[in-house]
Each structure stands twice: as structure tokens, then as C-alpha cells.
């Protein structure tokens, strides 16, 4: 059996243990030297030639900070004593293992280091940590000067440490004789370095902070937990069955020395690297507080229209300024943090999540007018703010998901995952439509009879809705302004669903009277998308568009019809959004719910991006929706949830009109007159030319953001209770 001895500078109980490394069992004897280098020297002489390696713990031959280095006067002498047995202090493996550990930790917990503020306590002999952290963030700061020279940190010099006691260079846990500046700890997200120094100089509270060090004892863990630290990461491999490393770099290096095949190989990093390459390991990571295991996400919103700015008490003065000026100014303000989302927990897995709302100032009109590059920069800035708070996924709400390439560029330039939320928007839309049809007495899916129409069918949401609906209700009409895209979609559906009967048209007017279900995914600009006077009794319209394609005033002209929004989702737990989002407690728009759902699942990857939604993603997100106990919050129409009584009344009206054609004709006549009145009040006219394609303005992927658009008013709503 290989044997090494570990000489500890500080007092420790003499003991022997067995460790495992690369299928080798190694006997390790620990001996304390009572802070006496003469005692350590004597032990080196005694064990020379009797063990495979000697590890010196708590001392060093060379002191390094950045590119500066100095040989320690007394430390160097220790390494010249042994004539046969290699003597090591961990410097041969520390830097490489630190860099490797941070990389593996980021692979395991993506974004764990990104955009964080790092404090090295100390950076002395931790060049690996310093270099590795700088790959993830620019905020890497060293506490060396204020630790080693607290009274005059500006005079700190590495050269002055060449003859200092190792008791001061590598301090032990305890109470510092001179209190160190606590502000440098408060601003840090991550504290890395030597456990002794961290415990000695850190403040009593380390709430929500991540600690990175070589190894940790049970006493270290208990101390950090008492200070409310969040996560502990150890950078050396565990040589026992413990999840955290219990041995430092010196022990690990000595173990490698003892098992190397070529005993004449130099004790250099290159020699060790070839051994380390065979390791199958992960850095130790332990969550120390209840909130440490919480998955975090972010979500971006913006005002739907100028009225949301005017209606905010904070911005009430904007009512007296030209709208164009206000909108343009708002669109250029720096993105900002709004609130924290708490209380969401999966009933299936117990996974808790938290979210952060961020806002842009631009209205949809401005976002669509501005150069995509500007919006990209704003969204990337949001992503970086979110990373700083620990978010690993960001959802793009409302029109932020349609600008430019619909999130692809933002995802490429962000270190956290990005999603538009459109997959769950599709799933929620279809689920809501199904429930609405049942409430209105339709059994289209069960009987495979009836007709469904999708307006804006070639857009991001519309195309995938069309393909899925055709699988349930074969008689489907697709409406969109571009014939070539309609033809392509028709062929796709017929290939996927051979028994589907697909009709395509550039105008809804030709077929609206035959539709039992109409899904509209367009953006109407002062133009009517559907003539409600022509719809059949009891028709269900699932209006995803924002602004809505059918206004509340239009819907009121046909009380027998059911005009609903896409499904809002009831999130599990006791969600608190920190702001009044205009929905009942716990209810979220589908795009926000998708982001939260992915966080619950721990699926931190780019999910719904671009203008083509994958059907498999829709099916997967629906499976996760069921798994984690999400539910539709109810059937909602123009901002109000409909009761069972409301739905029963509409169904009764529809049944009566189906049974009385004359009465239905009268309702149609009255509705047509009502539409003309609304047109006159609005100050515009709708052409009677059925070939007037200007009646249909489809904003393809804009429909994908439509379900989120209402939530955009959050940015400018007052805080709950204020």
C-alpha cells in the first residue's frame, strides 16, 4: 500500500486514515507541528525515505499573487531537507484543479459564476481561481491588502511577506485581533480562497453568498451554516465517500506523487495533468440554506400602449406631453428591475423557484419601429442583470420575443437560457379552446365533425396551432395574407394528417360563417379581422391577439358567441409577483408560466426561439405542465373570468338561435348595424371589397407574443398596497 505523511503547521490530532485515488488505496498519516517549523523539519528528516511523499499543510515554498511571486525564506528551507522522498505543498496541482473545478461547477449549475462579484480571501496562491473567475465576470477583487495590512492597505507588498510567520499568512478560523472591512464582503456574491481566512475575517452574516474553497470539515460547514451562507463548493476531489473534499491541495498532490508510474518523472504540473485527466469527478457542492436549492428565472415585460404609461401615478405628467415624444423617450430608457416573484413550488418534486421581473420602456409600436440591435442590447442587459441575481433562464414577454430574429441573437449572446414562452402559449390556447367548446355544447374533437378556422395561420403561433388542430378536427380553414405560405402550410398538414380537409384563403370573410371554432393570432391595426355578424350561433373565438382582434364592444353584439383569450395558468404554491399584474393571485400568462415551468423542471436551456415552434416542444411543455400540477385558471373574456352561469347563459342563447333561423337572422342584422355604429364612433371604415387584403394584417411571430402582451402593463403599475 502506498503511504504518505501530512505534516500540519498547526496542532492536530495524530491519526491515520485510508484514502482512494484512481483505484489506489493510500495510507495517510496526519501529524501536527504546533506552529513550530523546527518540529516540522525534524519530521521531514524522520520520514525521508520511509514514505512515498510528504505533504506540508499550512506552509508554502513560494508566495504568488497574480504574476508576482516571492520565495518564503523559512518555507524554502523545508523543501531542501529530504533527500529521497518528494516534499510537496499543493502548488503543483492547485491552479489546475481550481480552474477545472470552476468549469465543472458551471457545467453542473450553468450561470453559477456569471456576472457575479467575486472576493478572493485571499488571492494569495490562488491564481487558478483568479484566472477562472475572470472567464465568467469582470468583477474579481482581491482582499489581500485589507487582510494582511488592515491599517494601511495601500502599503501592502508581497515582498514584505517573504519572512512573515505562516500563522499570519495562512490564518486559522477564529476571531480576528483587528477587525477587517466588512463592506468588501457585503458587496460580494461569491467569497473564495482559504477556509481559515474566510471564517476569520468574514462578517457574522454571509446570507445568500457562495463560498469556494479547497476543502471543508464538518466544523467549517456548521460555521458557514450559522452565518446563513447559501452554497459551499470545494475545488479538490473527494478522496473519501464524502460529497465535499476533506483534504487540501497538498494532500492531493502527495497522493498523485505516490501513485505515479514513473517515479523519476519531475514533480511538475504536466506530470500531474496526465494523472488528473483520468479522474472522473465533480467538485463538491452543498446547499447550506433553505433558499440555496431554489431555481431562479427572469422575465421581461414592457407597456402594451401609451395608456399604461399615462395611468401610472409615477408618470401621470406624461398625459400633458405629446404621445409620440413620451413613447420614444420611454423606449430608450435603460432596462430596469421591477420585482421579485416568490412562493412557486412544484407539488410533484417540491422544487421551489423564484423569478425576477425586468422591464423595457418601449410600447409595441416603438419596439417594432426601433432597430433590432437596440432591443437586443436592452434584452442582453436584462439577461446580465438576471445572471447577477442567480437566474439561469429568462423569458421574453410580449413584443420582446418578436423583435428581429425572435430571441435567437439574444440567446447567442447571453450566458443564461432564453425562451419566448410560445410553446406553452400554444398548449394553453388549445386546452382553453377545448374546454370552451365543451362548455358551449360542441364535441368537435370527439365527433371529428364541425369546422375550425385559424386566422394568421402562417405565423409562429398560428402554424403550430393549425397543425395540432388538424389532428383533432380534420375540417380546417387557414387564413393568412401570403398565398405562398398558405400553400406550404396546407401541404405540411396534409402530409402529417392525411385525413385532414384543409381549405386556404386570404380572407376570413369567405368562411367565417361555417366555423365552430376560430383561433385568431393576428395583430389588428384599426381594422376588423372578423365580422361577428356573420358568425354562426354559439361560435367560439379564441382571440390570442393583443390588441384583441375582437373588442369587448364587438363581442357584446353577439352575446350567444364565446370570445375568449388564450389560457391563463394557475401556478402551484402561493405565487406573489410583487406587482399587481391584473390577474387573480397565482395566475400567470402562458409565456410567463412556461418560463416558470422550465425552472421547476430544472430545464435551463434555450427552449422556444425563432419563428418556427416545434410541435415536439409543445407536447413536451404540455407534459411538464401536467407533471408539475399547473392548471388553467378558467375561461377569460376581455379581462374577466366567466362563471358557469355566464357560460350556461351563452349556451342557452346559442341553442335558441340554432332552433330559430328567423331570430338568428334578426340578430345578425342588428349586429351588422352595431358594427357600423362602432366604425363610425372609431372614425374609420371597413371596405366592402372582399378582396381587400388590407383587412388582414398578420404579424406572424407577433402573435406568439400576444398572449404575454397584457402583462406588459406591469412595468407601470403601482406596487400592490401602494
Q: What is the DSSP string of 381-393?
A: HHHHHHHHTT--E
pLDDT reported for residue 717: 36
CA 48 to chain centre: 54
pLDDT reported for residue 270: 82
Q: How far apart are CA 418 and CA 553, in angstroms?
A: 37
**435-439, Cβ contacts within 8 angstroms, sequence gap of 24 or more:** 435/632, 435/635, 436/540, 436/542, 436/562, 436/564, 436/635, 437/516, 437/517, 437/540, 439/562, 439/635, 439/647, 439/651
Cell of 646: 355566464
Q: What is the pLDDT of residues 187-215, one digit of tens each?
A: 899 999 999 999 999 999 999 899 999 99
Q: What is the pLDDT of residues 403-458, one digit of tens each?
A: 888 889 999 998 899 999 999 989 998 888 888 888 888 876 655 678 999 999 99
pLDDT reported for residue 364: 82
Q: How far apart are CA 650 and CA 196, in angstroms?
A: 72
Q: Which residues contact 59 (CB under 8 A, 6 or more apart)?
A: 9, 37, 40, 72, 75, 78, 89, 166, 170
Q: How far apart are CA 5 and CA 257, in angstroms?
A: 12
Of the chain, the percentage scoring pLDDT greater than 70 comes to 93
Cell of 591: 409565456
**For residue 212, what are the β-bridge partners?**
192, 233
Does residue 635 contact residue 564 with C-beta atoms inside 8 Å? Answer: yes
Q: What 3-state class would DSSP assign to 317?
A: helix
Q: What is the crossing angle of helices 644-659 and 661-682, to 10°?
A: 120
Q: What is the pLDDT of residues 25-74, one digit of tens each?
A: 999 999 999 999 999 999 999 999 999 999 999 999 999 999 999 999 99
Of the chain, the percentage scoring pLDDT greater than 90 comes to 64
Q: Which residues contact 415 (CB under 8 A, 6 or more apart)?
A: 110, 111, 114, 115, 136, 383, 387
Q: What is the pLDDT of residues 307-343, one digit of tens each?
A: 878 877 777 888 888 888 988 988 888 999 999 999 9
Whether pLDDT at 700 is above 60:
no
Q: What is the pLDDT of residues 132-168, one digit of tens each?
A: 999 999 999 999 999 999 988 888 999 999 999 999 9
Whether pLDDT at 704 is above 50:
no
For residue 293, the surrounding DSSP H or E stretch is none
Closest to 220 in 3D by CA, of 192, 246, 189: 246
What is the DSSP pairing of strand 2-8 with strand 631-632? unpaired
pLDDT reported for residue 248: 97
Cα angle 283, 286, 290 (rounded to 5 degrees) comes to 155
Q: How far apart are CA 455 and CA 706, in angstroms?
A: 14
Cell of 587: 395566475
Exposed/middle/buried for residue 658 (C-beta within 10 Å: 0-12, 13-18, 19+): middle
Does residue 224 contact residue 280 with C-beta atoms inside 8 Å? Answer: no
Q: How far apart are CA 63 and CA 449, in angstroms?
A: 81
R_g (Cα) of the chain, nearest Å: 33
CB atoms within 10 A of CB 141: 15
Cell of 439: 362548455
Q: How far apart are CA 327 and CA 338, in angstroms?
A: 19
Whether pLDDT at 626 is above 90:
yes
Closest to 197 in 3D by CA, of 134, 120, 126: 120
Closest to 210 in 3D by CA, of 224, 185, 191, 182: 191
Report which DSSP code applies to 438.
H
- Residue 353 phi/psi, 5° resolution? -135, 155
pLDDT reported for residue 269: 81
pLDDT reported for residue 689: 36
pLDDT reported for residue 628: 96
Domains and CATH numbers, the chain: 2-88 (no CATH), 94-245+280-287 (3.40.50), 295-420+570-632+706-716 (no CATH), 425-567+636-704 (3.40.50.720)
Mean pLDDT, the chain, whole residue set: 88
Does residue 573 contact residue 343 with C-beta atoms inside 8 Å? Answer: yes
- Residue 62: left if φ>0, alpha if ψ -120 to 50, beta else—which one? beta
Does residue 65 contact residue 144 with C-beta atoms inside 8 Å? Answer: yes
Measured CA to CA in angstroms, residue 135 lies from 116, 382, 606 at distances of: 11, 20, 21
Strand ranges across the sheet with 569-570: 587-588, 569-570, 631-632
> Do you find a cis peptide bond into 547, omega within 30 degrees of 0?
yes
Q: How far apart are CA 334 and CA 444, in angstroms?
A: 49
Residue that the C-alpha cell 485527466 belongs to: 277
Q: What is the pLDDT of residues 520-568, one digit of tens each?
A: 988 555 678 899 999 999 999 998 876 678 889 999 999 999 999 877 8
Whether pLDDT at 486 is above 90:
yes
**Confidence label for 688 from pLDDT (cuts 50, 70 and 90):** very low
**Confidence label for 703 from pLDDT (cuts 50, 70 and 90):** very low
Closest to 357 in 3D by CA, of 718, 720, 711, 721: 711
Does residue 40 contact residue 7 with C-beta atoms inside 8 Å? Answer: yes
Whether pLDDT at 682 is above 90:
no
Q: Name which of 239-243, 259-263, 596-600 the model is least confident about.
A: 259-263
Whether pLDDT at 683 is above 70:
no
Does residue 250 contact residue 55 with C-beta atoms inside 8 Å? Answer: yes
Exposed/middle/buried for residue 480 (C-beta within 10 Å: 0-12, 13-18, 19+): buried
Does residue 99 contact residue 187 with C-beta atoms inside 8 Å? Answer: no
For residue 511, the surrounding DSSP H or E stretch is none
pLDDT, mean of residues 301-312 = 82
Q: What is the crossing angle of helices 702-709 and 422-439, to 10°?
A: 70
Q: How far apart are CA 373 and CA 344, in angstroms?
A: 34
Amino acid at each position: 500500500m502506498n503511504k504518505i505523511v501530512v505534516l500540519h503547521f498547526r496542532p492536530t490530532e495524530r491519526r491515520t486514515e485510508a484514502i482512494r485515488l484512481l483505484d489506489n488505496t493510500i495510507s495517510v498519516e496526519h501529524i501536527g507541528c504546533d506552529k513550530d517549523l523546527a518540529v516540522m523539519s525534524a519530521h521531514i528528516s524522520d520520514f525521508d525515505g520511509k514514505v512515498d511523499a510528504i505533504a506540508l499543510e499550512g506552509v508554502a515554498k513560494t508566495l504568488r499573487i497574480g504574476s508576482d511571486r516571492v520565495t518564503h525564506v523559512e518555507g524554502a528551507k523545508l523543501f531542501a531537507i529530504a533527500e529521497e522522498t518528494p516534499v510537496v505543498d499543493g502548488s503543483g496541482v492547485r491552479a489546475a484543479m481550481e480552474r477545472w473545478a470552476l468549469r465543472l461547477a458551471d457545467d453542473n449549475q450553468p450561470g453559477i459564476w456569471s456576472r457575479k462579484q467575486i472576493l478572493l480571501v485571499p488571492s494569495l496562491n490562488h491564481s487558478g481561481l483568479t484566472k477562472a473567475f475572470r472567464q465568467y465576470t469582470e468583477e474579481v477583487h482581491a482582499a489581500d491588502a485589507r487582510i494582511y495590512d488592515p491599517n494601511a492597505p495601500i502599503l501592502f507588498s508581497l515582498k514584505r511577506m517573504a519572512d512573515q510567520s505562516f500563522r499570519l499568512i495562512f490564518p486559522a478560523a477564529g476571531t480576528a485581533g483587528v477587525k477587517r472591512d466588512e463592506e468588501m464582503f457585503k458587496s460580494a456574491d461569491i467569497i473564495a480562497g482559504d477556509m481559515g481566512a474566510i471564517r476569520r475575517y468574514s462578517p457574522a452574516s454571509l446570507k445568500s453568498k457562495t463560498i469556494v474553497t479547497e476543502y471543508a470539515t464538518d466544523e467549517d460547514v456548521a460555521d458557514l451554516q450559522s452565518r446563513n451562507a447559501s452554497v459551499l463548493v470545494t475545488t479538490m476531489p473527494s478522496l473519501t465517500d464524502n460529497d465535499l473534499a476533506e483534504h487540501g491541495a497538498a494532500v492531493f498532490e502527495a497522493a498523485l506523487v505516490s501513485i505515479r508510474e514513473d517515479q523519476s518523472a519531475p514533480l511538475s504540473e504536466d506530470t500531474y495533468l496526465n494523472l488528473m485527466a483520468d479522474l472522473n469527478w465533480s467538485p463538491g457542492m452543498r446547499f447550506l440554506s433553505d433558499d440555496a436549492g431554489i431555481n431562479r428565472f427572469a422575465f421581461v415585460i414592457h407597456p402594451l400602449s401609451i395608456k399604461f404609461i399615462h395611468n401610472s401615478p409615477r408618470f401621470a405628467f406624461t398625459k400633458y406631453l405629446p404621445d409620440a415624444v413620451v413613447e420614444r423617450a420611454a423606449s430608450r430608457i435603460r432596462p430596469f428591475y421591477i420585482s421579485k416573484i416568490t412562493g412557486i413550488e412544484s407539488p410533484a418534486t417540491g422544487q421551489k423557484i423564484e423569478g425576477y421581473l425586468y422591464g423595457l420602456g418601449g410600447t409595441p409600436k416603438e419596439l417594432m419601429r426601433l432597430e433590432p440591435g437596440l432591443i437586443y442590447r436592452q434584452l442582453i442587459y436584462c439577461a446580465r442583470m438576471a445572471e447577477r441575481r442567480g437566474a439561469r433562464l429568462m423569458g421574453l414577454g410580449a413584443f420582446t420575443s418578436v423583435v428581429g430574429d425572435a430571441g435567437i441573437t439574444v440567446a447567442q449572446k447571453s450566458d443564461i437560457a432564453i425562451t419566448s414562452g410560445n410553446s406553452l402559449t400554444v398548449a394553453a390556447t388549445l386546452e382553453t379552446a377545448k374546454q370552451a367548446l365543451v362548455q358551449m355544447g360542441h364535441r368537435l374533437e370527439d365527433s371529428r365533425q364541425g369546422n375550425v378556422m385559424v386566422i394568421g395561420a402562417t405565423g409562429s403561433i398560428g402554424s403550430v396551432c393549425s397543425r395540432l388542430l388538424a389532428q383533432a378536427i380534420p375540417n380546417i380553414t387557414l387564413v393568412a395574407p401570403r398565398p405562398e405560405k398558405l400553400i406550404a402550410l396546407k401541404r405540411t398538414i396534409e402530409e402529417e394528417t392525411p385525413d385532414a380537409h384543409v381549405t386556404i384563403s386570404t380572407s376570413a370573410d369567405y368562411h367565417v360563417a361555417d366555423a365552430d371554432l376560430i383561433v385568431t393570432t393576428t395583430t389588428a391595426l384599426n381594422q376588423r379581422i372578423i365580422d361577428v355578424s356573420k358568425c354562426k350561433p354559439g361560435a367560439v373565438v379564441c382571440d390570442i391577439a393583443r390588441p384583441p382582434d375582437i373588442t369587448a364592444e364587438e363581442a357584446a353584439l353577439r352575446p350567444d358567441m364565446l370570445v375568449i383569450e388564450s389560457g391563463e395558468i394557475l401556478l402551484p404554491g402561493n405565487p406573489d409577483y410583487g406587482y399587481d399584474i391584473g390577474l387573480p393571485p397565482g395566475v400567470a400568462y402562458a409565456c410567463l408560466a412556461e418560463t416558470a415551468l422550465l425552472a421547476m423542471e430544472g430545464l435551463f436551456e434555450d427552449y422556444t426561439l425563432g419563428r418556427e415552434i416545434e410541435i415536439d416542444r409543445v407536447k413536451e411543455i404540455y407534459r411538464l405542465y401536467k407533471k408539475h400540477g399547473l392548471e388553467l385558471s378558467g375561461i377569460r373574456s376581455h379581462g374577466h373570468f366567466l362563471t358557469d352561469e355566464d357560460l350556461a347563459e351563452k349556451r342557452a342563447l346559442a341553442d335558441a338561435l340554432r332552433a330559430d333561423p328567423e331570430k338568428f337572422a334578426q340578430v345578425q342584422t342588428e349586429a351588422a348595424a352595431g358594427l357600423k355604429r362602432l366604425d363610425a364612433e372609431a372614425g374609420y371604415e371597413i371596405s366592402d371589397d372582399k378582396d381587400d387584403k388590407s383587412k388582414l394584417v398578420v404579424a406572424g411571430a407577433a402573435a406568439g407574443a400576444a398572449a404575454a402582451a397584457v402583462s406588459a402593463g406591469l412595468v407601470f403599475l403601482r406596487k400592490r398596497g401602494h
